[in-house]
Every structure is written in C-alpha cells, then in structure tokens.
Structure 1
Amino acid sequence: MKSLLAKKPRVATPARPGPVASFVRFVIFGGGVGVLSGFAVPLLAVTMPWALSNAVVTVASTLLCTELHARFTFAKGRGAGWREHWQSAGSATTAYLATGVAVHVLHLVQPSPGMLTEQIVYLGASGLAGAGRFLVLRLYVFAGRRGRISRPSAQQGTVTVPVLAAAPV
C-alpha cells in the first residue's frame, strides 16, 4: 500500500492534433499575425523602403509565429528550439520573397497603387505562401522524432536510435 502512495502521478503528454485541427490553429495564429503584419508593413514603409519594412516585419512575425506554432498549432508542449526557428526561418524567407515579388510586380504594373490595392496583393501572396509554410512546418519542422528505441551500448550506457516513420498527412 505504501508503494502505491509513493509513486508520482504520470502527466499525460498532449496528443498531436490532426491535420484539420492544426490547419485551423495555423490559420488563427499565423493568419492573425499575418493580418497584423499586413498593417505594420505599410505603416513602417512610410519611414523606410518597403522591402526593408517587409523584412523587419517578416523577422519579427516569424519569431512570434514559430513560438505560437510550437506551443499551440502543433502542440509540442514546449517552445520552439533553435532547429525549429532556423527551419521556420527558411520557409519564412520563401514567403518573404513571394510577398516582395508580388508587391514589386504590382508597382511595375501600377506605379502608385493605393494602400488597399497593396494590402490585397500583399495578403493574397501571404495567404498562398502561408499554405506552403503550413505543409513544411507540419510535415518537416514540427513533425517530431517518433519511434525512438533505446539500445544498450557497452561504452556509453544507452544509445537512442531514431527509427524513421512516415508523418501522418
């Protein structure tokens, strides 16, 4: 009886959300930050070149979104590590290029577009880039390392060997 009382309670680890739940969370967190970014870029562009404004907002929003996605969208149960931040930065760089090219093309076609037109183009490009980012983050960055097996080693005690498993879609 005493040994039953002495055991520590096990804390359940959160289950990884399915693709639909992850996508809904991704849209809420990433889309929410994206909309705020959409307002921040033209406001900053009043004081600096548009491309620099887009870069500053992209860096700040990527850091924030990576943390939100690690904690809530993909339910890692912790904040993002350096690996996730760097990999997320790679996908964000692609998104930055997509939004930058879209707005640059807009300015070539229409030299003085209004803020509303600029917003529509920027948010449209951000939405398309965001869908690609979701796939990269879900299938690669936050996929995790499932299926680890511990095997004893004569020299170091225990070695953890990763076993490859396909990520659910």
Structure 2
Amino acid sequence: MASAVVAPAWSRLRHPLFLQVARYVMVGGLGTAVNAATFLLLRTAGLDAVPASLVALLVSTAVSTEANGRFTFGGTAVHRWRARVQVGGTVLFYAFYSSAVLLLLGLVVDAPTPVEETVALAAASVLGGVGRFLVMRYWVFGTSDVPVQPVAPKPGTVDAWDERA
C-alpha cells in the first residue's frame, strides 16, 4: 500500500489556502489530461470537434469534481445543493466556453488539426479553472452559513488530512 504524502500539521493549519491551491492544481492537471485524452480520442475516431468537446467535458467534470471533493477540500464541510449547482454551472460554462474557443480557433487557423484543437482547449481550461477554484473554495466547501454534510473518504482509503497516515 502506498503511503499518502501528508503535509506537517503546522503547515496545514498555517497555510490551508496554499495546500488547497496546490492540490487543486494537481487535480486540475488530472482533469485537463482526462479532458484532452477523451477529446483527442473522440476526434480521431471521427466525431466533430464540438460534440467531442462536450462529451470530454462531461467525463472530465465528473472526474475532477469527485477528486476535488475528496482530495483538495477533503475533510471540510460541503453544501450538497451548492455542489450540484457548481457542477451544473461548470458544465454550462465550459460547454459554451470550449465551443467558443473551438470556433475562434477555426477562424484563426485554417482547418485546425485535432492536436491543435486539444492544445487550445487545454490552454483555455486554465482560465476557467481559476474561477472554478474560487467558487468551490468560497461557496461550495467550508460554508458556515448553511447546514452541511462532511465529505467522507471511501472506506479503506487514507484521508489526506489524517495525521496518522
């Protein structure tokens, strides 16, 4: 069994934002990789750019939302209704945003290749990711103004915040 990398307790208490940002960047990298791989696979299989982007978006949003809930913001309270709104808002935002990026790329580059489309979508996702982090940190997780439920780790896994790990 691999041991989890756990920051010292003083670090977690003094710099929780830094740790959340670092974890969010790692999860964001994973989500971007899942999005890019899914998009490229679908494009090379013959699906048009915008539908391939939407399918990749749904897959990567599901993966990254689950990973952020468990790893980035693990152990903090979550407002379930706000989490659902955030997921829906993320899908809607990226559906329009990524479609606009692909259409703009088509205006700038004659007949962009699937690899060029993938790079454009991955680069554009960084900007959207900053906004998503702020929404998740300040609106979905750790809210104190509403009844919340803690995010529980899966049975048999080590919670990243557990100092005994």
Post-superposition offset of 1:28 = 0.7
Provide structure 2 residue ranges, at least 5 long, that are not aligned to the other structure. 1-11, 148-165
Q: Is the 8 A contact 2:27 2:64 kept in 1?
A: yes
- The two structures have a TM-score, normalised by structure 1, of 0.67
Alignment of 1:13-92 (within 5 A): 18-45=16-43, 46-76=45-75, 81=80, 83-92=82-91
Alignment of 1:1-169 (within 5 A): 18-45=16-43, 46-76=45-75, 81=80, 83-145=82-144
The 4+ residue runs of structure 1 with deviation greater than 3 A are 76-83
Q: Distance in 2 between matches of 1:47 and 1:94?
A: 25
The residue identity in structure 2 corresponding to 1:21 is: L
Q: Is the 8 A contact 2:73 2:141 kept in 1?
A: yes
Provide structure 1 residue ranges, at least 5 long, that are not aligned to the other structure. 1-13, 149-169
Q: Distance in 2 between matches of 1:81 and 1:68?
A: 16
Q: Distance in 2 between matches of 1:143 and 1:78?
A: 5
Post-superposition offset of 1:25 = 0.7
Q: Compared with structure 1, are the counterparts of its residues 116 and 88 closer, same or farther at alpha carbon in structure 2 (3 Å cutoff)?
A: same
Higher relative contact order (CA 8 A, sep 6+): 2
Larger Rg: 1 or 2? 1
Q: Is the 8 A contact 2:78 2:142 kept in 1?
A: no
- The two structures have a TM-score, normalised by structure 2, of 0.69
Q: Distance in 1 between matches of 2:146 and 2:125?
A: 35
Deviates further, 86-95 or 97-106:
86-95
The residue identity in structure 2 corresponding to 1:43 is: L
The residue identity in structure 2 corresponding to 1:120 is: V
Q: How big is each residue's C-alpha offset from its partner over 1:31-55, in whole Å with a ceiling of 9 and x where there is no partner? A: 2121121121122123322211111
Q: Distance in 2 between matches of 1:95 and 1:88?
A: 11
Post-superposition offset of 1:128 = 0.9
Percentage identity across paired residues of the two chains: 27
